[in-house]
Structure formats: C-alpha cells, structure tokens
Amino acid sequence: WICTFANNQHNLEELNHRDLMQTPFVKALMCSTCQGTVMVMNENAEPFRRTWCTLENWFSTTVARAIKSWHLLDIVAMTGGSQSFFNPESSTSCTVPDSCVLLKDDGKGVLQDVVEVHGARFPVTVAVEGVKVDVAAAKASRAEDK
C-alpha cells in the first residue's frame, strides 16, 4: 500500500466520503492483492505526527487485520550513517554506511530488522521519536481533517 498511488494527490475531493470504507485508500488496503502497508520514516517519525498517516496506520493495523484476518505493517528508515558495530574478526569498530533498514512484519505482529548493509539496525532515535508521539496532537493540512 502506497497512498500516493491510491489517492489523486492533486485532487483529494475523492476522500470526502462519510463512509471511510468508500475512500480510495481503504479500497486499496482492503483489496485482496494488498498484502500490507509500508511506512517510510524520517528521523523525526513524521508519519506518526500526520493525521492521515495515523489514520492509515490505524486502519492497517486494526481494521484491515480484523476484516482480512491478516495485513502486514513494515516500517522503513535510513540509518543516518552514524551507526557502528564491533567486528570480532579484526577486533575493531566498523562504521556502517548510510543505508536502508526495514522492520519487517513477520505476520504475527513481530517486527524483524532486514538490512542491506552488514551491521546496520533500525535507528534507535527513530524508534524513540515514534514512542514519544502524541497522535492526538497530529497535524493536518486542513483543520477539518483532524
């Protein structure tokens, strides 16, 4: 699920349904071929601070899972180039280049690190920011979306 492909980003009038199930993003999430949702995080966990993103997250993790009996939620972030790991073979600390890390949903609600670079891990700073977010204070482009 990538909302940019389900919603016309230049004309969001199609989202003005009283019935959430009739919106393009819910139809896309509920489609039998949709296996899950991918949240792309920045260093501030911004998607958790946006009203529509929190709605999509809630729908993915609650409604879609209840109706379809499964729906994956993967979270991706960049390491930021500030990670390192201990290499026991050389007894040295190695710097991990900036890379993409995926917290992949195993289908049972457990998220596992999937990395493209050895030694990388999901950024702790992003996880901490995500935990600190007050979704009730989430931002919206339009006041009526809150």
Q: What is the C-alpha separation between 54 and 130, in angstroms, rounded?
A: 11
Confidence (pLDDT) at 104: 94
Mean residue pLDDT of the chain comes to 84
Q: What is the mean pLDDT of residues 54-73?
A: 89
Looking at the DSSP assignment, which residues form a beta bridge with residue 56?
Answer: none
Of 17-26, 47-56, 62-71, 85-94, where does mean pLDDT reach its minimum?
Answer: 17-26
Measuring CA to CA, which residue among 32, 111, 119 is closest to residue 73?
Answer: 111
Confidence at 63, pLDDT banded by 50, 70, 90? very high
- Give me the percent of the chain exceeding a pLDDT of 90: 19
pTM beyond 0.75: the answer is yes
How confident is the model over 96-144, as pLDDT tens digits? Answer: 888 899 999 998 878 999 998 888 889 988 999 889 989 888 888 777 7
